[in-house]
């Protein structure tokens, strides 16, 4: 077993090198704002920009909303498919792969046609309803990841036995899902949540064409015409997003304990 | 409960999902599907589908498939290894949550920032390239390495493929009970036999599913490739964007047909995955 | 006693006529401003702030008329703008663009697809005839020529012409600012190189341009990375072929870190014209018209000039001595522009067909 730990550390080391060295390259470049010396000026410019804070907050809120809607949509569905409708699995899996290959720009042009102010469901007519539309489009974008993560988690537990046990104790479907299944697929839901959060923070096409003040369009604006600020922005975004994920993880751990009846 | 009642309740459970899929995925995509069969004036035509079989477009599909497969398999192997050692490899407890959160961030680090990060590190004027030349007088470019190539792009793609694999496989690796490892050791199995007969067969379906997800993920990616090897590697997503949004070619119907082709390829790989998974799951029941 | 009356009446009539003659011009503009103010906002698309100084132009419009300007997707290409109009046909929300700024060839095709509405600005007559649609559906707004944008810290000898780029000292140095299969800027770059190689013969320019880039690629001078200001500064693409106004704007942004030289090549100078149009489905048509008036006024045109773009009324402004001398000094020398070739629509289309179809085969997709 000791041999294994050495091998484990070696693998982790290779991983760390691969992931951190490109970040180092970006960081080094971002320090070159002033000619000949290393300075943090590019970072100051980015952090002092009020638009940075406003758009990041907006995207964070939307990301959290997307995660909630996504979990509420995917967990019961994946559970149901596993338990009762295994024949529908290929269909559902294929549907969840669609967002990966359909260009986001095609999707958003579709939304503009269907949900325009002249249609039955005028979601683009006010800012709030457009926010709702944007949230749902983000749920669609993150569907592949959320579904695959939750599905993997569900297959690792014995859903049938858990359900029967809970039912024999008199639990309703709601109780089963929230207090039995959800805590057991916590790892999968968390993975899905991380992936969703990252996607929403960086998403550009839909936010910009639906005309919402999200972080993605801001990133694009800075990145298009500047040399050093985009690198600084990339590092800052990386750091802040990592911190947000840490917070999500802390929150999830505490909630799962409460849901399962803390022990 | 009589079977008929059970079936109808079961369908209710998935109605929200299908309603959502209909409203936000299928109907918008139908514009794409219909558009692929129309010409510029809206008349029905099969010309777009015929056009898909031009040599440039066929080769672009092939290159896309190659890059996606290479980065999916590479990402799957390395991602799985990383996830396994972090969860079950005997490392300190802080490694796992750090890896998970970092993977969350890195999974979406793509496009221009990623391409630029690799250029700034391994490009001809990159940090590492320069360091190696200055410290060890070793120029990686003289060994034939070129970041702006098929393998360079695959290497760059793995930056978001590996974290994706880590996150997707984490729950499955979590499900590998330690007791099974101990039990197999008790029965006299070596580590290799444990893997071959216990762990891998259990992990095989989620491994396949995750690899397929990685494949589709890379297949639909465009921003990174465009930024890094834009005008030299002819992948199908760039062709698609050229038709739909380009300054120049602008035949959106051909673009829709290209997207339809991508959906077909994704569907085929999904079918292949389901077949493979079905075979391996037979004995699990 | 009749004569004085006749004179008074005639005089009065003349005065009234004169007033009527003057009033409509002024009244129409005031009416337009009032109607636009009632609409309250303008939605634009694909206008990066550093492109032709659009940031300042938009700000001046907002300040002058107090309207809100809603800026969609600054990263959009001309094709995106057309798609945005099509997708928002029934939508009066803020996602529907009112005005578009697209490449020359997109004007006629948008008109054909019934996506534009006609409007002739007050200064219509001063726009050159071959840069506008006779019925007023689209009209040229500015142009620039293709130039070399050079990182002077890395590149010691600055190339002066296309043939120089083939020299061995520029190994791994030359890049385009886009993909020649999708980007207008990149295609014109190939065309310009070809024009230089074909000694001014436009018919053979596309093929000559492809051959030039094939040679550039074979000798190892060509870098397939899409050139941006960040990659210029970092050193991955120390020479980028770009519109001169973008190159000059980048030079200002970098503020000497690194030093940037912008060189208009001695031969093969190709000019690219962009055109404006009002969407047929614009939710704020009066704001759109007011925007056009603003852009084609002296103030708007000079705003573009400050962004290093040559406004379409440049010759007219110079003739009337409206251009400040210090602004003229910051532009590339006028004789560089004297040789500029403006490809016609047919020439552009033909070149596009050739270049986009053959780029992969000629500049051998060096794919494994």
CATH code (residue A248): 1.10.3720.10
Residue C367 reports pLDDT greater than 50: no
Does residue A117 lie within any of the structural domains? yes
Among C37, C3, C24, C119, residue whose Cα is nearest residue C284 = C37
Instruction: Work out how many domains chain A is built from and give that number.
Output: 1
Does residue A248 lie within any of the structural domains? yes
Phi/psi at C44 (5° precision): -115, 165
- Nearest-angstrom CA–CA distance, C118 and C137: 4
Lowest-confidence region among A132-146, A166-180, C156-170? A166-180
Residue B166 reports pLDDT greater than 90: yes
Does residue A48 lie within any of the structural domains? no
- Nearest-angstrom CA–CA distance, C46 and B226: 19
Residue numbers of C between 70 and 89 with CB closer than 8 Å to B: 76-80, 82-83
Residue at token pair 């839901």: A189
Helix (H) or strand (E) holding C70: strand C68-72
Lowest-confidence region among A18-22, B153-157, C249-253? C249-253
Chain A residues closer than 8 Å to B106 by CB: 19
- For residue range C220-241, what is the model confidence (pLDDT) as tens digits? 899 888 888 888 998 889 999 9
CB contact C103 to B (< 8 Å)? yes
Structure-model confidence comparison of residues C294 and C330, the more confident one: C294
Contact status, residue B71 vs residue B161, Cβ threshold 8 Å: yes
CATH topology (fold) of B16-280: MetI-like fold (1.10.3720)
Residue at token pair 């929300």: C93
User: A81 is written with which tokens?
Assistant: 């498919």
Please name every residue paired with C260 in a beta bridge, in sequence order, or none if there are none: C151
User: B172 is written with which tokens?
Assistant: 């499955």
- For residue range C56-113, what is the model confidence (pLDDT) as tens digits? 999 999 999 999 998 888 878 787 888 889 888 888 888 899 999 988 888 888 898 8
The upper half-sphere exposure of residue A47, i.e. CA atoms within 13 Å in the direction of its Cβ, equals 10
DSSP label at residue B38: B
Contact status, residue C343 vs residue B126, Cβ threshold 8 Å: no
Contact status, residue C312 vs residue C143, Cβ threshold 8 Å: yes
Of the pLDDT bands very low, low, confident and very high (cuts 50, 70, 90), residue A57 is very high
Q: Do A7 and B85 touch (CB under 8 A)?
A: yes
Distance from chain centroid for Cα B104? 15
How many CB atoms are located within 10 Å of the residue B271 CB? 12
Q: What is the pLDDT of residue B284?
A: 56
CB contact C180 to B (< 8 Å)? yes
Mean pLDDT for A54-60 is: 93
Cβ-proximal residues to B227 (8 Å cutoff; 6+ apart), any chain: B111, B112, B114, B115, B116, C225, C226
Q: How far B208 CA lies from chain C's nearest CA (Å)?
A: 26
User: C19 is written with which tokens?
Assistant: 């007033």
Does residue A241 lie within any of the structural domains? yes
In Å, how far are A212, B254, C89, C268, C315 from C86, measured between CA atoms? 20, 17, 5, 37, 35
Q: Do B245 and C77 touch (CB under 8 A)?
A: yes
Structure-model confidence comparison of residues A119 and A179, the more confident one: A179
In Å, how far are A136, A234, B229, C27 from B221, measured between CA atoms? 21, 19, 13, 54
Contact status, residue A118 vs residue A126, Cβ threshold 8 Å: no
Residue at token pair 């494949």: B215
pTM, two decimals, is 0.84
Q: Where are the domains of chain B?
A: 16-280
User: B103 is written with which tokens?
Assistant: 């993977």
CB contact C110 to A (< 8 Å)? no
CB contact B146 to A (< 8 Å)? no
In Å, how far are A119, B62, C39, C330 from C58, measured between CA atoms? 32, 45, 17, 22
Residue C23 reports pLDDT greater than 50: no
Q: What is the pLDDT of residue A116?
A: 75
Does residue A12 lie within any of the structural domains? no
Q: Do B120 and A23 touch (CB under 8 A)?
A: no
CB contact C28 to A (< 8 Å)? no
Q: What is the pLDDT of residue C194?
A: 93
- For residue range B56-86, what is the model confidence (pLDDT) as tens digits? 888 889 989 999 999 999 999 999 999 999 9
Can you say whether residue B130 is alpha, beta or left, with left for phi > 0 and alpha for psi between -120 and 50 degrees?
alpha
- For residue range A110-168, what is the model confidence (pLDDT) as tens digits? 888 888 766 777 777 778 888 999 999 999 999 999 999 999 899 888 888 888 998 89
Q: How far A208 CA lies from chain B's nearest CA (Å)?
A: 15
SS3 C284: coil
Chain A residues closer than 8 Å to C75 by CB: 204, 208, 220, 224
Task: Write the residue in B124, B148, B231 that is nearest to C176 by C-beta.
Answer: B231
Count A/C contacts: CB-CB distance under 8 Å.
91
SS3 B110: coil
The upper half-sphere exposure of residue C139, i.e. CA atoms within 13 Å in the direction of its Cβ, equals 27
Q: How far C80 CA lies from chain A's nearest CA (Å)?
A: 9
Contact status, residue C287 vs residue C98, Cβ threshold 8 Å: yes
- Nearest-angstrom CA–CA distance, B280 and A4: 28
Mutation target for C interface from B236, B247, B253, B259: give the one with most C CBs within 10 A. Answer: B247
Q: What is the pLDDT of residue A262?
A: 47
Q: Do A187 and B206 touch (CB under 8 A)?
A: no
- Nearest-angstrom CA–CA distance, B217 and B7: 34
Q: What is the pLDDT of residue C366?
A: 42
Lowest-confidence region among A62-66, A147-151, B197-201, C139-143? B197-201
In Å, how far are B84, B128, C4 from C85, measured between CA atoms? 50, 46, 63
How many CB atoms are located within 10 Å of the residue C235 CB? 22
Contact status, residue C261 vs residue C150, Cβ threshold 8 Å: yes
Residue C148 reports pLDDT greater than 90: yes
Q: Do A74 and B17 touch (CB under 8 A)?
A: yes
Distance from chain centroid for Cα A25? 26
Of the pLDDT bands very low, low, confident and very high (cuts 50, 70, 90), residue B206 is confident
How many CB atoms are located within 10 Å of the residue A186 CB? 19
Distance from chain centroid for Cα C368? 38
Nearest-5° angle of CA B71, CA B74, CA B80?
125
Question: pLDDT > 70: what percent of chain B?
Answer: 92
Cβ-proximal residues to C139 (8 Å cutoff; 6+ apart), any chain: C121, C124, C127, C131, C132, C133, C275, C276, C277, C296, C312
Domain range spanning residue A190? 58-255
Q: What is the pLDDT of residue A49?
A: 87
Q: Do C236 and B125 touch (CB under 8 A)?
A: yes
Mean pLDDT for B110-138 is: 88
User: C58 is written with which tokens?
Assistant: 């938009």
- Nearest-angstrom CA–CA distance, B220 and A101: 5
Contact status, residue C152 vs residue C134, Cβ threshold 8 Å: no
Does residue A133 lie within any of the structural domains? yes
Task: Say what the ipTM of the complex is.
Answer: 0.84
Task: Write the residue in A12, A94, A153 that is nearest to B171 by C-beta.
Answer: A153
Nearest-by-CA chain B residue for A114? B28
Residue numbers of B between 19 and 48 with CB closer than 8 Å to A: 20-21, 23-32
Does residue A163 lie within any of the structural domains? yes
In Å, how far are C22, C24, C25, C27, C184 from C13, measured between CA atoms? 14, 17, 19, 20, 57
Task: Write the residue in B85, B117, B170 that is nearest to A187 by C-beta.
Answer: B170
- Nearest-angstrom CA–CA distance, C239 and A237: 30
In this complex, which chains have at least 3 CB pairs below 8 Å with chain C? A, B
Task: Write the residue in B116, B151, B252 that is nearest to C230 by C-beta.
Answer: B116
- Nearest-angstrom CA–CA distance, C300 and C123: 12
Lowest-confidence region among A32-46, A234-248, B27-41, B242-256? B242-256
Q: Do C79 and B250 touch (CB under 8 A)?
A: yes
Q: How far B112 CA lies from chain C's nearest CA (Å)?
A: 10
In Å, how far are A184, A190, B13, B270 from A79, measured between CA atoms? 12, 16, 9, 20
The upper half-sphere exposure of residue C356, i.e. CA atoms within 13 Å in the direction of its Cβ, equals 23
- Nearest-angstrom CA–CA distance, A77 and A86: 11
Residue at token pair 């000094």: C329
Q: Do A25 and B21 touch (CB under 8 A)?
A: no
CB contact C75 to A (< 8 Å)? yes
Contact status, residue A98 vs residue B216, Cβ threshold 8 Å: no
Does residue A89 lie within any of the structural domains? yes
Mean pLDDT for A38-58 is: 89
Residue at token pair 């990182």: C151
Considering chain A, what is the average pLDDT of its residues?
86
User: C7 is written with which tokens?
Assistant: 């004179």
Question: pLDDT > 90: what percent of chain C?
Answer: 42
Contact status, residue A141 vs residue A99, Cβ threshold 8 Å: yes
- Nearest-angstrom CA–CA distance, C337 and C314: 12
Contact status, residue B165 vs residue B76, Cβ threshold 8 Å: yes
Q: What is the pLDDT of residue A1?
A: 47
Contact status, residue B90 vs residue A5, Cβ threshold 8 Å: yes
Contact status, residue C44 vs residue A208, Cβ threshold 8 Å: no
In this complex, which chains have at least 3 CB pairs below 8 Å with chain B? A, C
Q: What angle, rounded to 10 degrees, do the helices at C345-362 and C205-218 form? A: 30
Task: Write the residue in C83, C172, C179 that is nearest to B226 by C-beta.
Answer: C179
């Amino acid at each position: 077993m000791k041999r294994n730990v050495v091998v484990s550390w070696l693998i982790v080391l290779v991983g760390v090198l691969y992931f951190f060295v490109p970040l180092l390259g970006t960081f080094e470049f971002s320090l070159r704002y002033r000619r000949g010396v290393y300075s943090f000026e590019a970072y100051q410019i980015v952090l002092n920009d009020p638009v940075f804070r406003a758009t990041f907050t907006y995207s964070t809120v939307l990301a959290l909303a997307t995660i909630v809607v996504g979990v509420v949509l995917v967990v019961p569905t994946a559970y149901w498919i596993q338990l009762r409708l295994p024949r529908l699995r290929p269909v559902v899996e294929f549907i969840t792969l669609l967002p990966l290959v359909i260009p986001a720009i095609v999707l958003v042009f579709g939304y503009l046609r269907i949900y325009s102010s002249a249609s039955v469901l005028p979601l683009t007519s006010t800012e709030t309803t457009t926010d709702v539309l944007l949230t749902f489009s983000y749920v669609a974008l993150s569907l592949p990841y959320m579904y695959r993560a939750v599905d993997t988690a569900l297959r690792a537990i014995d859903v049938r036995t858990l359900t029967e046990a809970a039912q024999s104790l008199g639990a309703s479907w709601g109780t089963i899902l929230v207090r039995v299944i959800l805590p057991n697929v916590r790892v999968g839901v968390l993975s899905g949540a991380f992936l969703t959060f990252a996607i929403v923070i960086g998403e550009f096409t839909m936010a910009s064409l639906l005309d919402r003040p999200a972080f993605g369009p801001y990133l694009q604006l800075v990145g298009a015409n500047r040399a050093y600020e985009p690198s600084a922005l990339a590092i800052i975004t990386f750091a802040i997003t990592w911190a947000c994920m840490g917070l999500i993880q802390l929150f999830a751990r505490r909630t799962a304990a409460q849901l399962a009846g803390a022990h | 409960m009589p079977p008929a009642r059970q079936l109808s309740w079961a369908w209710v459970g998935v109605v929200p999902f299908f309603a959502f899929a209909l409203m936000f995925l299928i109907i918008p995509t139908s514009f794409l599907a219909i558009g692929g069969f129309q010409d510029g004036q809206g008349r029905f035509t099969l010309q777009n589908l015929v056009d898909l079989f031009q040599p440039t477009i066929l080769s672009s599909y092939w290159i896309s498939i190659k890059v996606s497969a290479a980065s999916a398999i590479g990402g799957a192997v390395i991602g799985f290894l990383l996830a396994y050692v972090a969860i079950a490899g005997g490392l300190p407890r802080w490694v796992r949550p750090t890896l998970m959160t970092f993977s969350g961030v890195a999974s979406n680090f793509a496009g221009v920032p990623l391409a630029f990060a690799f250029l700034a590190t391994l490009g001809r004027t990159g940090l590492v390239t320069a360091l190696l030349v200055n410290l060890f007088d070793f120029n990686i470019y003289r060994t034939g390495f070129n970041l702006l190539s098929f393998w360079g792009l695959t290497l760059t793609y793995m930056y978001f493929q590996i974290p994706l694999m880590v996150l997707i496989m984490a729950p499955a690796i979590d499900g590998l009970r330690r007791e099974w490892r101990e039990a197999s050791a008790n029965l006299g199995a070596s580590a290799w036999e444990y893997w071959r007969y216990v762990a891998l067969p259990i992990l095989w379906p989620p491994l396949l599913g995750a690899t397929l997800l990685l494949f589709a993920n890379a297949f639909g990616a465009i921003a990174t490739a465009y930024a890094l090897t834009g005008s030299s590697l002819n992948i199908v997503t760039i062709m698609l964007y050229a038709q739909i949004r380009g300054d120049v070619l602008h035949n959106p119907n051909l673009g829709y047909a290209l997207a339809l082709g991508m959906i077909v390829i994704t569907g085929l790989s999904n079918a292949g995955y389901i077949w493979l998974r079905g075979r391996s799951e037979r004995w699990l029941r | 006693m009749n004569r004085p009356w006749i004179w008074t009446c005639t005089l009065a009539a003349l005065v009234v006529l004169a007033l009527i003659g003057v009033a409509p011009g002024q009244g129409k503009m005031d009416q337009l401003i009032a109607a636009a103010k009632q609409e309250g906002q303008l939605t634009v698309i694909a206008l990066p702030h550093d492109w032709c100084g659009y940031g300042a132009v938009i700000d001046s419009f907002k300040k002058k008329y107090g309207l809100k300007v809603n800026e969609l997707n600054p990263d959009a290409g001309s094709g995106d703008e057309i798609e945005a109009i099509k997708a928002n046909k029934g939508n009066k929300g803020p996602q529907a663009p009112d005005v578009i700024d697209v490449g020359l060839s997109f004007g006629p095709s948008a008109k054909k697809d019934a996506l534009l509405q006609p409007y002739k600005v007050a200064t219509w007559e001063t726009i050159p005839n071959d840069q506008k649609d006779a019925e007023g559906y689209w009209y040229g707004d500015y142009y620039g020529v293709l130039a070399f944008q050079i990182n002077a810290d890395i590149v010691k000898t600055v190339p002066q012409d296309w043939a120089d780029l083939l020299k061995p000292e520029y190994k791994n140095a030359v890049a385009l600012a886009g993909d020649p299969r999708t980007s207008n800027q990149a295609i014109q770059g190939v065309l310009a190189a070809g024009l230089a190689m074909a000694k001014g013969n436009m018919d053979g320019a596309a093929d000559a341009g492809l051959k030039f880039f094939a040679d550039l690629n074979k000798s190892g001078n060509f870098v397939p990375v899409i050139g941006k200001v960040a990659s210029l500064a970092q050193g991955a693409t120390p020479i980028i072929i770009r519109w001169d106004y973008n190159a000059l704007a980048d030079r200002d942004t970098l503020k000497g870190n690194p030093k940037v030289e912008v060189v208009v090549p001695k031969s093969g100078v190709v000019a690219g014209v962009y055109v404006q149009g009002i969407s047929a489905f614009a939710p704020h048509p009066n704001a759109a018209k007011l925007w056009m008036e603003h852009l084609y006024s002296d103030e708007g045109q000079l705003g573009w000039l400050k962004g290093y773009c040559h406004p379409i009324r440049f010759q007219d402004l110079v003739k009337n001595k409206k251009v400040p001398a210090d602004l003229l000094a910051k532009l590339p020398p006028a004789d560089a522009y004297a040789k500029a070739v403006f490809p016609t629509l047919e020439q552009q289309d033909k070149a596009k067909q050739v270049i986009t179809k053959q780029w992969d085969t000629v500049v051998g997709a060096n794919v494994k």
